A and B are shown apart, each in its own frame.
Chain A
Amino acid sequence: MTDLAERDQLSYIAAQAADARLNVELETEGMTLNIGPQHPATHGTLRIIVRLDGEQVVWAEPSCGYMHRGYEKLTEVRTFPQVTTLINRIDWLGSFANEVPFILAAEKLMGIEAPPRAQHIRTILFELSRIANVSLFLGDLGVQLGAVTPVFMAFRDREYVLNLIEAATGGRFHPNFDRIGGLKDDLPVGWIAETKQVMRKLRTFCDEMDDLLFGNEIFQARLRGIGVIPAEVAKQYGLTGANLRASGVDYDLRRDQRLPLAYDKVDWKVWTHPDGDSFARCWIRLQETREATKIVDQLLDSLPSGPVMAKVPRIIKVPEGEAWVSTENPLGEMGYYVVSKGDLGPFRVKIRSASFSNISVVPWVLRGVYVPDIIAILASLYFILGDIDR
């Protein structure tokens, strides 16, 4: 693990503070700029209020709540199997990944485990969600920085992945496929060969993005050294996923915890980057997409036979207890703190979504940056509005 040198952190913080102080001392008249609620850079309806001094941001505050749907309250009047329908819609670009930690938490409370084949298929679909989610990010990143071509490529290639998810689960965006004790169904005939072919296409897509975006001089100029988040700050604000690893923290829940998923059966790499800037965050996501295609390929080769559903009672009652399960979702750590009172439905579910914590660093990181960098930083932090508001 490489932390940024402490000296660098301090000088960065001091520079930001000095900028803010200068604006106060000179008493220059600032202006307030509203970004959103509708803005292409916000993946939904997020409003960001920034106070500017000239071209520099002195204060920024995201205003959430335009998409708050009250899922934590709603889970209290649903049965356990019904909850997956709701939580599918939290991060709508990687829906299947949302279901997994909740189902695992319920299984943990019930003391059951899905059969190996179900665990493998869960992991495969989990990684396919990641690919679908992050490939759109890579394309969208281009649009937000002024390059139009990548987004068309992203939509083209994401479609292949969505077709796979649809073929296996029946739903393109909201599969609702995970069940307590296993999966609704087995994989369809011919799916494995098809998936391998698509994974090859996606690797080509990653190479294209690498050439078109990450090798592009303008792209690098817009992102390198912009929006640096030191490791300590990232940890304090609870950043997770690629945003944390881009600050040099070597932590990935797929590797660093023991869950009944198949990640320990494949050979893959957790990428980190020492810089902590916007470029690092985007670059980590590109590498993660590549790793995800490798994970899927290996799991398809080692898919065990057997049932996809464990023996569970017809009516699911979860014993009294509390469980916390989190997984490494496309956007970061997504976890559910499930409290059961032995009833048909949960007593309380705390949904810890990745984007909520990831975006809470925005007031800190935007202070002192220039207006064009706001969009670059927001794009690189990558959030889904449903994942912030829940």
Chain B
Amino acid sequence: MVPLSDTTTDTPALPGDGLRDGIVQRMRDAIGADLLDSLVKPGDDVWLRVSTSAWRAAGLALRDRLGCRHFGFLSAIDWMPSPYGRGEDDPTQPAPERDDTIRQGYAGGETRLQVFARVVNLDEHWGVTVKADVPDDHPVVDSWIPVYAGANWHERECHEMFGIEFAGHPDLRHMYLPTDFEGHPMRKDFPLLARMIKPWPGIADVEPLPGGDDEEAPAEGASS
């Protein structure tokens, strides 16, 4: 009556760096110049950036040619530094000057918004993070539903939180927010109102620490 398990207990060898360089090369073979940039951290992880128009083609290539059958997640990043900082400003004072240059992360980029997704090759035990720029004036990318059916909900969430349209998505209804909610909460210029209306209480007890910031912290509870 007890079903039999068909697992093995021996751990397969984890992929090394040659494999990650190989992933980039295989992607370049598959989509050519649409692979705009890549970053390999040896023995750790790999990032790819593809052109916006090739977003779906990149997904198909990852799924069919690189064997990434498992869909991890899909989301977006707003690279604009928050105009409100970390919400610790005194609302009665004029807002301080802030650096508002947009600096994209790994594998570069040109736009403020980027979509990124994680897909996994379950047989060889590696995953890849793939990014694509989203045009600032017209934030639309192709939907990944034909590639991974599970992208449906992730794209809905991404749509309401970042205001990115997914062309070909059948049903971009709100997932979490009320239907008539205006704005896109995860964008950096959307204020976190709870932090805006009164000074953050945590700021009150910040005082210079003895020995400077870089001193090693004593073990917690050691002084008591």
Seen from chain A, the residues whose Cβ lies within 8 Å of a Cβ on chain B are: 1-2, 64-65, 68, 70, 72-74, 76-78, 108, 179, 184-185, 215, 232-233, 235-238, 248-251, 255-258, 264, 267-275, 280, 283, 287, 307, 309, 311-315, 321-324, 326, 333, 335, 337, 339, 341, 343-345, 348, 350, 352, 356-357, 360-361, 364, 389
Contacts and interface: CB of A to CB of B under 8 A. Distances in A.
Nearest to A253: B125
A329 B30 CA distance: 34
Given A215-B1, A312-B217, 13 more contacts: A78-B86, A184-B220, A250-B7, A256-B125, A274-B6, A314-B214, A315-B213, A315-B214, A337-B129, A339-B77, A350-B73, A352-B73, A360-B153
B213 A313 contact: yes
Contact of A275 (B3, B47, B214): B3
Nearest to A311: B216
B187 to A, nearest CB: 10
Nearest to A279: B3
Contact of A314 (B8, B116, B186, B217): B217
Interface of B: 1, 3, 5-9, 11-12, 14, 44-45, 47, 69-73, 75, 77-78, 81-82, 86-88, 103, 105-106, 116, 118, 122-123, 125, 127, 129, 148-150, 152-154, 161, 174-177, 185-186, 188, 192, 195, 209, 211, 213-217, 219-221
Nearest to A181: B217
Given A237-B149, A356-B153, A324 B70 contact: no
A269 B192 contact: no
Nearest to B88: A77
Contacts of A324: 45, 118, 127, 129
B23 to A, nearest CB: 15
B150 A361 contact: yes
A274 B148 CA distance: 22
Given A314-B215, A314-B217, A235 B69 contact: yes
A185 to B, nearest CB: 6
Which one of A236, A280, A356 has the highest number of Cβ atoms from chain B below 10 Å of its Cβ?
A236
B221 A364 contact: no
Contacts of A271: 5, 7
22 contacts: A65-B176, A72-B161, A72-B186, A76-B192, A185-B220, A250-B7, A256-B11, A256-B14, A257-B14, A271-B5, A272-B5, A273-B5, A309-B220, A311-B216, A314-B215, A321-B105, A324-B127, A337-B118, A339-B77, A343-B86, A350-B77, A360-B154
A72 to B, nearest CB: 6
Please classify the interface of chain B as helix (H, G, I), strand (E, B), loop, or mixed, using the class held by over half of its residues. loop
A181 B176 CA distance: 35
Contact of A74 (B71, B88, B127, B192): B192
Nearest to A316: B217
A211 B217 CA distance: 51
A314 B125 CA distance: 37
A262 B96 CA distance: 47
B215 A313 contact: yes
Which one of B1, B3, B44, B118 has the highest number of Cβ atoms from chain A below 10 Å of its Cβ?
B3
A270 B7 contact: yes
B1 A77 contact: no
Given A238-B72, A315-B213, A348-B77, A65 B7 contact: no
Contact of A389 (B1, B78, B176, B221): B176
A236 B192 contact: no
A310 B8 CA distance: 35
A322 B149 contact: no
Which one of A78, A235, A264 has the highest number of Cβ atoms from chain B below 10 Å of its Cβ?
A235
B148 A255 contact: no
B3 to A, nearest CB: 6
A210 to B, nearest CB: 9
